[in-house]
Amino acid sequence: MSISQHTVFSPDAETIGQVHLSLLESINLDNYKDVLARHGMDEIDPERWYPMQSVVDLMDEIGNRQGGMTDLVSIGIKLMETALLPPELEELPLTHVLQGWNNIYLANNRGTDPGDFQIEFVDDQHAIMHCRIPWPDDYTYGVFYGAARRWLPDSTDFTVYYEEDGPRRDFGDETTVIHIDWN
């Protein structure tokens, strides 16, 4: 088992199983099925709260394997494709969804300090997400890519990218900065 490069902000942090069903539904599942079994997550109870560090460790192990970046991105995208959300949220524009992102995160992750998101808008089609969360960056990238696909109209061009020379959790910083730009 690999040593985790990501650490939760508080040892009591937990994450709800529903969010991690995407681990079992990703198109790349065959690449890391053995990791799920080794971590006891080859079956996930959607209503159970799991210790966040154990799920972070699992994600780190997936990310540290050959092709891990692609696997983590695909898991994040699948999360946004399959996430159960209130119907009224489905009808909102992406800007409104992103404004409430921290609340969505805290509804699915709990503890003294599960992490958080801060958002700033450069304009009405460019959001900057400051992600102070313990998850690997490529998973978070996939989540925002999936969110853009889910909430932007089908004909909308968009780009999701890390801030050039910006902080990254994967490189030991406390936050990762991700841009979502669309037109």
At the topology level, CATH places domain 87-182 in: H-NOX domain (3.90.1520)
Give the pLDDT band (50/70/90) at residue 3: very low
pLDDT at 134: 97
pLDDT tens readout for residues 65-81: 999 999 999 999 999 99
pLDDT tens readout for residues 163-182: 999 999 999 999 999 999 99
Give the pLDDT band (50/70/90) at residue 88: confident
Q: How far apart are the C-alpha atoms of 117 and 25, rounded to whole Å?
A: 25
**CA-to-CA separations, 32 to 24, 37, 48, 77, in angstroms, rounded:** 10, 9, 22, 16
Q: What average pLDDT is seen over the chain?
A: 95
What number of helices (H) and strands (E) belong to the chain? 8, 7
> Closest Cα partner for 109 from 129, 88, 132, 77?
132
pLDDT tens readout for residues 132-152: 999 999 999 999 999 999 999
Give the pLDDT band (50/70/90) at residue 4: low
Residue 1 has pLDDT above 70, yes or no: no
Ordered by start, the domain boundaries in the chain are 14-82, 87-182
- Percent of the chain scoring above 90 in pLDDT: 92
Comparing 31-40, 83-92, 117-126, 169-178, the range with the smallest average pLDDT is 83-92
Q: How far apart are the C-alpha atoms of 89 and 105, rounded to whole Å?
A: 14
Q: How far apart are the C-alpha atoms of 103 and 82, rounded to whole Å?
A: 18
Which residues are CB-contacts of 115 (< 8 A; sequence separation ≥ 6)?
Answer: 8, 9, 13, 105, 109, 131, 132, 133, 134
